[in-house]
Amino acid sequence: MNHNLKYKRILLKLSGESLMGDQNFGIDPKVLNYFADEIKKVHDLGVQIGIVIGGGNIYRGLNASSQGIDRVTGDQMGMLATIINSLALQNALENKGIYTRLMTAIKMEEVAEPYIRRRAIRHLEKGRVVIFGAGTGHPYFSTDTAATLRAVEIEADAIFKGTRVNGVYDSDPEKNPNANMFEQISYLDVLKLNLRVMDLTAVSMCQENNLPIIVFNMDVPDNLLKVVTGENVGTAVGNFPS
């Protein structure tokens, strides 16, 4: 174990959309391979890694109502989309020689283990990367909230939210070139300013459990590695003074 690590056990949250690459939907094998390489660098240091990945590249439950599908059914379809992404990421990681476990909140024993907290922690302690699929298993909860719930349950040191921007900004940096990035910001300010770091339920849960959120650009090689070893990358969200 490398004792210079700032974080020993992390929950990495990735969006489903990030897997699309330049495509309009689906999974880009190049992106999958890149993510697996970045995760391997951190795993090789001895970091215990849990992962939650969204399903928005395949199906988004929130948009289902516009297609005449009720919200609960749409969310259930979205949960199954996260399983497809989780299986793809699992396969990419195992191609790099990393032992993994896919655990799911919806029972499907032929595909993945049912999520059991103690078993998940045991897998992490044995050096396996654990991918948590199917969200919380309940409709109306996002994969942000699922990531927060799993991070709290496995006693992670922080949630790492890998995005395509460098951190948390006061406005959308992809629309406003003058947007200012925060080095650190309090949970309260994120909620007050409605900054969309994660949804409100997830941010509130992080605040209640004093769980730091690190928002960083996953598309920059070695950024994940830098954050884990304590370099000043991205934005830290925590119990900072407002």
**Above 50 in pLDDT, residue 2?**
no
Q: What is the mean pLDDT of residues 92-106?
A: 98
Q: What is the DSSP code (8-state) at residue 8?
A: S
Instruction: Assess contact for 88 and 19: CB atoms under 8 A.
Output: yes
Give dist(CA 79, CA 127) in Å, integer. 26
Take residue 18 and report the two structure tokens written for it.
């990030």
Alpha carbons within 13 A on the beta-carbon side of 154: 33
Alpha carbons within 13 A on the beta-carbon side of 160: 29
pLDDT score recorded for residue 173: 86
Query: Domains in the chain, ordered, with CATH?
Result: 9-238 (3.40.1160.10)
pLDDT score recorded for residue 144: 96
- pTM assigned to the model: 0.94
Q: What is the mean pLDDT of residues 168-186?
A: 92
- Band the pLDDT of 174: cuts 50, 70, 90: confident
Give dist(CA 183, CA 70) in Å, integer. 40
Give dist(CA 120, CA 156) in Å, integer. 12
Q: What are the tens digits of pLDDT across the range 30-83?
A: 999 999 999 999 999 999 999 999 999 998 755 666 678 898 999 999 999 999
> Which is more confident, 25 or 146?
146
